Structure 1
Amino acid sequence: MKAREKVKTLDELRPALAEARRKGRRVVFTNGCFDLLHTGHLRYLEAAGALGDVLVVGVNSDRSVRHIKGPRRPVVGESDRSELVAGLHCVDYVVLFDTPDPLPLIQAISPDVLVKGADWAMEDIVGGDWVRARGGRVERVPLVAGMSTTRLIQSVLEAYGASPEPCGPRASGD
């Protein structure tokens, strides 16, 4: 299956999750911006996927990212970010969401396990109370020290400043 085939609308995702549940599979949900995909994202999603059988990742829309991170983000557009996340071996489905937080999506998916990074306090995890009230659980996954999109952006700006120089003969095709 091609990565882009794992990117679904909520309506497309519902029957797939219903079938998974009929087979007794546990649905895990997590979400994020996933702008400038890095090793920290991969390890986080691998850990999330290990907590169940089907990993669904909610990816913030461009508008949602701008609301959270500011007008200069995202660096990578929503369709590319979604396809890149879907391309990771541990991800079963990706769904875009355009709301300020993922609560409506969490309620629609009704995961068995809701996962966020350990930088979130348990009481601040959006949808956590709702998932627990339905018999599910909420898990916090440790982050990879020193890995963040913000840090990557800062490193690029420090190395190249406001006007990056070409990195060699193939720079125009990078």
Structure 2
Amino acid sequence: MVTAAFAFARAAGADYPTAVGLANFAAGLEVGLHGVTPLPRRQILAAIRAEAEPATRKIVARAEVEALVQELRQQGRRIAFTNGCFDLLHLGHVQMLQYARAQGDLLIVGLNTDASARKLKGPGRPINSQDVRSRVLASIADVDYVVLFDEESVLPLIKQVRPDVLVKGGDYGREGVVGCEFVESCGGEVRLAPRVEGLSTTELVNRIAGSNEAAD
């Protein structure tokens, strides 16, 4: 594993000190394994992210989702899933995420990219970039993984994750929950989180806009 990690780093263009550092890092991970067990690239990258910045390890690339879900299923974990733009995160969001996490052993959050959020919310949105929004979500203890999706609909991502529990805010009726039929057809459940009245990102944006107009 150590030799392979060193060779991989050099082939990718890394200098000797960087390649040696990666090889040493891989050696540290290998010590914790039993016998001759290969280390998946995703596991090495996740460990490096965790070492560099604990919160960012929660942000998973779309291409890595299926491997992650397979690993979680093998561990017998019950997967809860929710999604949204999560722009200008507020108490309503936080309570919904807490509720969602309580429905399973872990919570995966699907996050609209900037392009996807703009299609849904219109010009001027999102207020915060996808990098900021994903990092803020990842810093929340109840969130285990964050996955960005570029489509206007979250359904393709839901089909990749195949969650045991799909959670949305209480302002959605069951008929308005994207992925409801698919999840239930796979034996999963759909649950609606209690809504915090008077709290929504759109309302906050409108209040801010109104305050700015009054100031002018």
Q: TM-score, normalised by structure 2?
A: 0.72
**1:151, distance to aligned residue in structure 2 (A):** 1.6
Which residue of 153, 163, 170 corresponds with 2:205? 153
Gaps of 5+ in 2: 1-49
**1:30, distance to aligned residue in structure 2 (A):** 0.5
Which residue of 102, 111, 131 corresponds with 1:79? 131
Which residue of 111, 116, 119 corresponds with 2:168? 116
Q: Answer 1 or 2: higher relative contact order, Cα 8 Å, separation at least 6.
A: 1
Amino acid at match of 1:25: R
1:39 is matched with: 91
Alignment check: 8 A CA contact 2:180 2:190 kept: yes
Amino acid at match of 1:146: G
Amino acid at match of 1:41: H
Gaps of 5+ in 1: 165-174
**1:162, distance to aligned residue in structure 2 (A):** 8.2
2:150 is matched with: 98
The structure where helix makes up a greater share of residues is 2
Cα deviation digits, residues 43-89 of structure 1 (max 9, x gap): 00000000001100000111111111101100001111111111111
Cα deviation digits, residues 77-112 of structure 1 (max 9, x gap): 111111111111100000000111100000011111
Q: Secondary structure at the match of 1:100?
A: coil
Note the aligned Cα RMSD (angstroms): 1.6
2:194 is matched with: 142
d(CA) in 2 for partners of 1:68, 1:95: 18
Q: Secondary structure at the match of 2:60?
A: coil
d(CA) in 2 for partners of 1:65, 1:162: 28
**1:163, distance to aligned residue in structure 2 (A):** 7.4
> Which structure has the larger Rg over C-alpha atoms?
2
2:70 is matched with: 18
- In the alignment of these two chains, the number of paired residues is 164
d(CA) in 2 for partners of 1:58, 1:18: 17
